[in-house]
Amino acid sequence: MSKNTISAANRHKTILSVILAVVSIVYVLPVLAVVINSFKQNTFVKTDTFAIPTGEMSAGFDNFIKGMTFGNYPFMKSVMYSVVITLLSTFLILLCTSMAAWYIARVDSVFCRAIYFLCVFSMVVPFQMVMFTLSKTADKLRLNTPWTIPVVYLGFGAGLAIFMFVGFVKAIPLEIEEAASIDGCGPVRTFFTVVVPMLKPTMVSVGILEIMWVWNDYLLPVLVLDINEYRTIPIHIQYLKGSYGTVDLGATMALILMSIIPVIIFYLACQKHIIKGVAAGAVKG
Amino acid sequence: MKNKKNTNSNSIKKATRRWGFLFLGPVLIAFTIGFIWPFIQGIWLSMCQFRLISDAKFIGFDNYVKVFQDASFRHAFWYTAMFAIVSLVIINVLAFMVAYILTLEIKGSNLFRTVFFMPNLIGGIVLGYIWSMIFDGILGRYQTSILLESKYGFWGLIILMCWQQIGYMMIIYIAGLQNVPGDILEAARIDGATSMQTLFKVTIPNVMSSFTICMFLSLTNGFKLFDQNLALTGGQPFVIQVGGTTIKTTEMLALNIYNTFYSSNTTSQGVAQAKAVVFFVLVAGLGLLQLGYTRKKEVQQ
């Protein structure tokens, strides 16, 4: 191979790098717009959206202070509810669906296959199909608080998690569990001491998918929770927009910034796992 | 030996079975509350007139007749279909291009991947809010707004969805591209194939399964879209038709169903539930159709 073709290929790659670098900058501009507007006086957000807030435009940290109590609802309360609901739901889903999936894969009876089929089926059902009846049922069973709504998430989200866990359990050789049972390990102990450690990578993938889903979910909590009392971050932000005639855009941008910073930190910290989890969950419907 | 093994695993099975209530119980209860019961009740209620659930009165298929007579639903259907198809094409073409470039081992590809995937983690409501600020910042210079023209709302939502979804689809395409065996690419090169020929004749047929997944995902994502639609335009601008019905020009199916459920009209809940059933059949059917079609293509390759 001649030197010329190699250097031509390298030149092409450099050009592509430059193009993608420009696209990347364009890609982060919306986030940058949120940052600059969260430091801007409200009246200038609409007229000078893309200007750097200096001089009279600058609001300093006023928007962040105002945002804390914006809409007659403390922002930190919605952060707390979002955290509680996300963590509890994810924990409950991981625990219960991994147990169920292991049972389904190992016992493999007609009943188990029927449940598995229902799980796969539930993945293609859009939420609108069940949203009205589900919210009424949840109300009736008092699943309408941040501490009980994880049961609803477990119910509606079980399909994908079980689907992913079953796929993984079937790939684990039975011999390890057999050895444990010969050593006198009962099924419960076998599951928690032998199977769970092997499931860890899948747990991380499923966990990340569930965290991303529950944290960003708007419709399910808004229908199930009593929103005068409990607002998650998406509900809070939607209500600022919906219930106010004239919205303080500067303060809203400050809230949005505060709500995406933890997400971006979480992303940068466990990027590898997140991307792997998403790729693994791509089979969902 | 083999026999012994079988009896062994059978006895494990038996022992495990006794713990069924513990392993399956919690999920079964929650799954019944969160899916099975609401689904069955939903099908039943689509054939009833009701305001709450306790006052449901069976009326047969009247609701379904009303669904297909509803001009706002028909509009939402065509609008959603248009949106889903346009976004499917744009997102997949761009995502595949980016994925292809990133697998060429160019400088900074890890950084680019990080950046392109990032918007995927931001929730739909927040995304809608961010972009409505940006679009109004631009359109405001021309004394207009994204809420004033339905074509702005349409393309605005397309841009928003591209920003959010390209990174996601890119990840799936990268995984597919990395699985293309290096020796067949090498063979194509030795046989004198140009890079374009290699791309279309070797690479793309070998990542067909990634195309299946991505097209399936973006099509159903497009059809099911709700949060972004609600937060960006909420269906605006509204147009009042000659007959007096209001058409929310940028309202998609999911939002149309939501608005029908929670409207002030006391008789619309049954119609809304019937819409939801039609919507379910549509989404599930589309998914199966798409899957079947691309699977067939895969086999032919």
| pLDDT tens-digit map of B272-289 | 899 999 999 998 888 777
Judge whether residue A2 has pLDDT over 70: no
Judge whether residue A97 has pLDDT over 90: yes
* Residue corresponding to tokens 């119609």: B271
Pick from B26, B108, B172: CB nearest A282: B172
The pLDDT of residue B235: 81
List the structure tokens of A169: 């359990």
Judge whether residue B297 has pLDDT over 70: no
Q: A178 vs B12: CB contact, 8 Å cut-off?
A: yes
Burial A218-233 (b: 16+ CB within 10 A, else e): bbbbbbbbebeebbbb
Question: DSSP states of A158-220 as a string?
Answer: HHHHHHHHHHHHTTS-THHHHHHHHTT--HHHIIIIIIHHHHHHHHHHHHHHHHHHHHH--HH
Average pLDDT estimate for B209-229: 87
The pLDDT of residue B9: 67
Q: A285 vs B269: CB contact, 8 Å cut-off?
A: no
CA distance B98 to A11: 18
List the structure tokens of A142: 């008092």
Q: Please tell me if residue B26 touches chain A, with a CB cutoff of 8 Å.
A: yes
- Range of lowest pLDDT (A21-35, A270-284, B173-187, B195-209): A270-284
% of chain B residues with pLDDT over 70: 93
Q: A162 vs B280: CB contact, 8 Å cut-off?
A: no
Judge whether residue A30 has pLDDT over 60: yes
Q: A182 vs B45: CB contact, 8 Å cut-off?
A: no
Judge whether residue A284 has pLDDT over 50: no
**pTM listed for this prediction:** 0.88
ipTM here? 0.87
Confidence grade of residue B301 (pLDDT, cut at 50, 70, 90): very low
Question: DSSP states of B16-85 as a string?
Answer: HHTTHHHHHHHHHHHHIIIIIHHHHHHHHHTTEE-SSSTT-EE-TTHHHHHHHH-HHHHHHHHHHHHHHH
Q: Please tell me if residue A182 touches chain B, with a CB cutoff of 8 Å.
A: yes
Q: Find out whether A44 and A59 touch, Cβ atoms under 8 Å.
A: no
Average pLDDT estimate for B101-117: 87
Pick from A34, A136, A188: CB nearest B22: A188
Average pLDDT estimate for B13-28: 83
Distance from CA of B241 to the nearest CA of A (A): 25
A·B CB contacts under 8 A: 290
The pLDDT of residue B2: 46
% of chain A residues with pLDDT over 90: 22
Tens of pLDDT along A188-215? Answer: 888 888 888 988 888 988 898 889 889 9
Residues in chain B with CB shorter than 8 Å from the CB of A263 are 121-122
In the Cβ-directed half-sphere of B272, how many Cα atoms lie within 13 Å? Answer: 24
List the structure tokens of A119: 């799980």
Q: A129 vs B279: CB contact, 8 Å cut-off?
A: yes
Tens of pLDDT along B164-214? Answer: 999 999 998 988 888 888 888 888 888 888 888 888 888 888 888 888 888
Pick from A27, A37, A283: CB nearest B116: A27
Burial B219-238 (b: 16+ CB within 10 A, else e): bbbbbbbbbbbbbbbbbbbe
Pick from B33, B125, B171: CB nearest A155: B33
Quote the mean pLDDT of chain B.
Answer: 85
- Range of lowest pLDDT (A98-107, B133-142, B223-232): B133-142
Residue B267's CB: how many other CB atoms inside 10 A?
A: 12
The pLDDT of residue B40: 93
Cα→Cα distances A204→A149, A191, A273, A278, B62, Å: 22, 17, 7, 11, 48
Q: Find out whether B135 and B142 touch, Cβ atoms under 8 Å.
A: no
List the structure tokens of A193: 């001491």
Of B39 and A251, the one with more pLDDT: B39
Judge whether residue B215 has pLDDT over 70: yes
Judge whether residue A228 has pLDDT over 80: yes
The pLDDT of residue B165: 92
In the Cβ-directed half-sphere of B185, how many Cα atoms lie within 13 Å? Answer: 15
Judge whether residue A285 has pLDDT over 50: no
The pLDDT of residue B19: 82
Tens of pLDDT along A238-248? Answer: 887 765 556 77
Tens of pLDDT along B36-86? Answer: 999 999 999 888 887 777 777 788 788 888 888 888 899 999 999 999 999
Highest mean pLDDT pick, A211-220, B205-214, B292-301:
A211-220
The pLDDT of residue B7: 59
The pLDDT of residue B291: 66
Residues in chain A with CB shorter than 8 Å from the CB of B137 are 33, 45-46, 49-50
**Most distant CA pair in chain A: distance in Å?**
77
**What is the amino acid identity at position B249?**
T
CA distance B275 to B267: 14
List the structure tokens of B79: 């609008």
